[in-house]
Chain A
Amino acid sequence: MFYVGLYRLFCSGIVEIRKGQRNYPDNNYKSEVYMSKKIVIKLNGKDVEVEKGQTILQAAKAYGVDIPHYCYHPGLSIAGNCRMCLVNVALKNPRNPEAPAKWMPKPFIACQTTVSPGMEVDTESEKTKAIQQAIMEFLLINHPLDCPECDQAGECRLQDYSYEYGQDRSRFIEEKNVRRIKNVGPHIALWGTRCIVCSRCVRFLQEISGTGELSVFERGDRSVVDIHPRREVDNPLAGNVVDLCPVGALVSRDFLYKARVWFLEHTNSICNRCSKGCNIRVDSLDGNIKRIKPRMNMAVNEYWMCDYGRFGWKSIYSDDRLLSPLRQSAPVDWKTAYHELKDTLTKAKGGGIGALVSMYATNEELYLINQLAKKSLGIEMIAPLEVEVKNDEVFPKFTIPGDKQPNRKGFDLILGETVSYDQIMDEIESKSLKSLIVFGGIPDYQYKFELVEAAEDLKILILFDLMKSDLTRIAHLTFPMLSFAEKSGTYVNADGRVQRFDKAVEPNFPAHEEINILQKMIKIQSGSQKTLTPGAIFGRLAREHSSFKRINYKSLGDQGQNIVL
């Protein structure tokens, strides 16, 4: 009997471990609280119900109690080395659950300690405050008074916690440990002295990107994050370590000294550099984009983004941007362009119209193109203007898709069956297609030579594009397009999530939104019609397409919504 009991005890322990749950010191003790998923702890003297297996930090956060922390990051493993999250804890004796919880002689780190039934946590007493103050003093021992020239100032945890939990003086009179400033990668600079050795960057490069370029060198208060000899932090996810760094030790070389962060205006947006559709935040100053940061969305990009998207906005300010409509490659004003459009469309009508549409077009634009094709103008064949799909770049916990087009799903859903690109090329060559509408807007794209060559023979070529290209030279009418930051709309990412992006900056030239131009085209064909906003167009789309059912432009919020399959 005794052996059976021991065996069962052993097995229950294994089951506990297998479930990934914490193995409590005494598995024999199976009171009701241990069995249930929810347990009750006392947080600052109040009874709160928390989930079993949560850490104190997570549990407290759920109840609006923010425990200060540096090294803990929800997307990374727990290191527990900054000690900022120390809290005083009282524990129950598991062998004697009736006895009151006993205060532990030393504080616990909240980021790693899991909650246990009857636990008491104190985050705000004088004793805990004294600990937090002492930790702040330790962290600032070697820290320079660099805030006036530090790029992190304004969004620096060290500043915030210093203000909230620290003190205004230091007792450290010895010489500070000064480290060199150096460039550790094409986009990143390391200010060694500012580092508090929280190891977030090191863990990111080991766990998420798996490249491990940075490590902590030396010991004790001399320890510092540095790069391995002859290596560079140049992987395509490297930019994330700048966002991760709670202080100004890792800074973006691109953003260095460009702006003070408290002047920046933030707009929620979606990255349009690949089919993943990472949630981003566009930071702009006086209507100019200064940087792009990832935004948390656990269903898409978690906390990260890749460097292609992070620095992709640069092409918006390229000298090759189209800044006004062109007629036979000569700039004209919008009034003339619309006049010309009317003439051109009247000429084109009556058969032989094709369209090449890129998968960078928003759902709203695609909807209007579809209207134009099916209802008013009568475009006979639509083909995708595709960019070559490369191989996925796979990292341990992040994949950068090889399909760089942000709206392939939306394209397929809204336009339905389309013909292939080659078919359009054949039709142009056999002269049965006389007019072509090219809806481009692909950043950094070169049109294929055959297309440019074939397009020379077309009767009519209407082009929508971002940049000057070979096609703008021969197009009869060219309309400048807006970049993702200058308009609003929605994309459907590769996983079928509809996500909205908002206009972040005003275009710095007199521009008309593509949806307005497309609506004008429809109006020319089928008489007067109200000009609709992106939201209204999306509403129509949602009514007409079953996949978008029950999705509302507003209710998409900043996290998006999955389409109905």
Chain B
Amino acid sequence: MQKKEFKYKWNLVDKIYLPAVLKGLLNTFKHLFMPSFTYEYPDEPFNPAPRFRGEHRLKKDEKGRIKCTACFMCATICPAKCITIVAAPSPEEYGSDRNKYPAIFDVNELRCISCGYCEEVCPKDAIELSVKMPRVYTSREEFIYNRDKLASN
């Protein structure tokens, strides 16, 4: 089938240009009186929707132990490769039902692209992207959150 060429026919109103410009200006002007969506952040608190993907958090179970068992699923799936885990046998106070825990669990928040895969893949429901807005620091090292920081995030 042959493609039909479409040709727009310019009428007089189009050729003058001005009505279109005025139409646009009218739209802009209308927005001055509409409710505003912007926040005066950080003076005004930011309350995002619960599914917002902010900073990471390591969850704890009812006994106060970190839920994560260092299974490396998140580190494997992470497309930005920003999770570093070193596994170790869990300490005494974790009890006999927990054998493995992350001795080191670092997330580089600068590299993270907030895709949320880590949260989705975790078999223990141990990591989540909280509603916290990413914070601001003055050095790169501070963006690497360690285990305890993530747990208390």
Q: Which residues of chain A are within 8 angstroms of B69 by Cβ–Cβ distance? A: 148-149
Interface residues of A in 245-282 (CB under 8 A from B): 256-258, 260, 262-263
Quick one: closest A residue to B99, CB to CB? A149
Q: Which of B16-24, B47-55, B70-78 contacts A (4 or more CB under 8 A)?
A: B70-78
Q: Are B99 and A181 in contact (CB under 8 A)?
A: yes
Q: Are A260 and B76 in contact (CB under 8 A)?
A: yes
Q: Which residues of chain B are within 8 angstroms of A181 by Cβ–Cβ distance? A: 99
Q: Which residues of chain B are within 8 angstroms of A262 by Cβ–Cβ distance? A: 76
Q: Are B124 and A257 in contact (CB under 8 A)?
A: no
Bound together, the chains give a CA A233 to CA B109 distance in angstroms of 46
Count A-B contacts at CB 8 Å. 27
Query: Interface size bucket, B side?
Result: 10 to 19
Q: Taking the complex as formed, is A147 at the interface, i.e. its CB lies under 8 A from any CB of chain B?
A: yes
Bound together, the chains give a CA A263 to CA B88 distance in angstroms of 17
Min Cβ gap B125→A in Å is 11
Q: Which of B88, B99, B123 contacts A147 (CB 8 A)?
A: B123
Q: Which residues of chain A are within 8 angstroms of B99 by Cβ–Cβ distance? A: 149, 181
Contact with B along A467-489 (1 / 0, CB 8 A): 00000000000000000000000
Q: Are B87 and A257 in contact (CB under 8 A)?
A: yes
Q: Taking the complex as formed, is B91 at the interface, i.e. its CB lies under 8 A from any CB of chain A?
A: no
Q: Are A257 and B100 in contact (CB under 8 A)?
A: yes
Number of interface residues of A (CB under 8 A): 11
Q: Are A257 and B89 in contact (CB under 8 A)?
A: yes
Which of B72, B76, B124 lies at the interface centre, i.e. has the most chain A CB atoms within 10 A of its CB? B72
Q: Are B72 and A260 in contact (CB under 8 A)?
A: yes
Bound together, the chains give a CA A328 to CA B9 distance in angstroms of 94
Q: Are B89 and A148 in contact (CB under 8 A)?
A: no
Q: Which residues of chain B are within 8 angstroms of A149 by Cβ–Cβ distance? A: 69-71, 99-100
Q: Are B76 and A147 in contact (CB under 8 A)?
A: no
Q: Are B123 and A256 in contact (CB under 8 A)?
A: no
Bound together, the chains give a CA A153 to CA B69 distance in angstroms of 13
Bound together, the chains give a CA A234 to CA B70 distance in angstroms of 30
Q: Are A256 and B71 in contact (CB under 8 A)?
A: no
Quick one: closest B residue to A191, CB to CB? B99
Q: Which residues of chain A are within 8 angstroms of B71 by Cβ–Cβ distance? A: 147-149, 153, 260
Quick one: closest B residue to A151, CB to CB? B100
Bound together, the chains give a CA A260 to CA B72 distance in angstroms of 7
Contact with B along A107-145 (1 / 0, CB 8 A): 000000000000000000000000000000000000000
Bound together, the chains give a CA A148 to CA B124 distance in angstroms of 8
Bound together, the chains give a CA A148 to CA B70 distance in angstroms of 7
Across the A-B interface, give the 3 residue pairs with the lowest CB-CB distance, nearest first: A148-B71, A149-B100, A257-B87
A-B contact pairs, 27 of them (CB 8 A): A147-B71, A147-B123, A148-B69, A148-B71, A148-B73, A148-B123, A148-B124, A149-B69, A149-B70, A149-B71, A149-B99, A149-B100, A153-B71, A181-B99, A256-B89, A257-B70, A257-B87, A257-B88, A257-B89, A257-B100, A258-B87, A260-B71, A260-B72, A260-B76, A262-B76, A263-B72, A263-B76
